[in-house]
Structure 1
């Protein structure tokens, strides 16, 4: 009978380098306590790295910096997938995702229907903030980011260049999704979004 640690190690080796995983992914190999201890031992042996509490990764080597840690964005995506959360990025993160800001947000703020929590990854944090379901109704990948980005810029502060870029991006959105999402936005944002139609 193979030990929990050996089974987990084999399972990890089958995954591509850089893959993120959680203790729950190995529940079939033993009790939660046995899994936790096995992950601690594998971390000590440097087979895996602990990225944040309860989040691990198979290390990816970079010839320039040695072990490359997964980005906060990749970790946020993995948590969203695992917990089947509905989320929408806000603030600087939404602006950055749309290419409207080159500033790398130290704090990623995601509105969610899941439980609120904060996860520290090095100097950065991922902040899941509980919100009302109405804030998560937008369907379009681009349009939901646009609504949050414009809220961050603020009414009356949108430059011509930003508006032009936003309209350009919205033209790539699925028309049905865009029409649906426009109706959810505040009136001043609707005005800008309608220009994409």
Structure 2
């Protein structure tokens, strides 16, 4: 049963107080955010985890390197998920690479700051793919691959077929987005 089913003629706070009292009396147990069930005698109550712990578990188990804020929306409210993501960024498990974009990170042994696990070009390509944008080889990569230039591209330029109004990067290092031809 959900918390919403208890809202009869009571306000939100009184329903919360009643649910806390029922949990204290071990008549109801919490099984998730806003979800409760009738407690079974002799059985231990289900252990609920925090939003931060759920985010950490999801990031750790995922093969992806880039996460959207919307990936974590089912875990809690917009504000609560935002607080948990900022906390994970502070702890060094995630790094914000754009508006609503986060990447797996680890603490650098050289600077002591969190840095993404993979390179910035791969992060940008994966992030743009997650946002539904098509990525193509940049003009610099194309010139090098066709033999028109001997300069090796740095990998900081990504060509995008669609319009993108975001900056993707971290710690002052951003990818330059150009229009694909």
If the length of structure 2 is used for normalisation, what is the TM-score? 0.55
Count how many residue pairs are aligned between Structure 1 and Structure 2: 130
If the length of structure 1 is used for normalisation, what is the TM-score? 0.51
Whichever of the two has the greater Rg, that structure is 2
Instruction: Give the direction of change, closer, same or farther, for the CA distance of 1:34–1:77 in structure 2 (3 Å limit).
Output: same
Query: Which structure shows the higher helix fraction?
Result: 1
Instruction: Give the direction of change, closer, same or farther, for the CA distance of 1:57–1:77 in structure 2 (3 Å limit).
Output: same
Which blocks of at least 5 consecutive residues in structure 1 are unaligned? 136-197
Distance 1:38 1:63 in 2: 25
* 2:90 aligned with 1:90: no
> What is the CA RMSD across the aligned residues, in angstroms?
3.3
8 A contact 2:158–2:175 mirrored in 1: yes
Distance 2:106 2:142 in 1: 27
Match of 1:81 in 2: 129
Instruction: Give the direction of change, closer, same or farther, for the CA distance of 1:31–1:120 in structure 2 (3 Å limit).
Output: same
Distance 2:85 2:145 in 1: 33
Task: Report how far residue 118 of structure 1 moved.
Answer: 3.0
Query: Which structure shows the higher strand fraction?
Result: 2
Instruction: Give the direction of change, closer, same or farther, for the CA distance of 1:96–1:52 in structure 2 (3 Å limit).
Output: farther
* 2:96 aligned with 1:50: yes
Residues 40-62 of structure 1: per-residue CA shift (max 9 Å, x gap): 11122223233444332222578
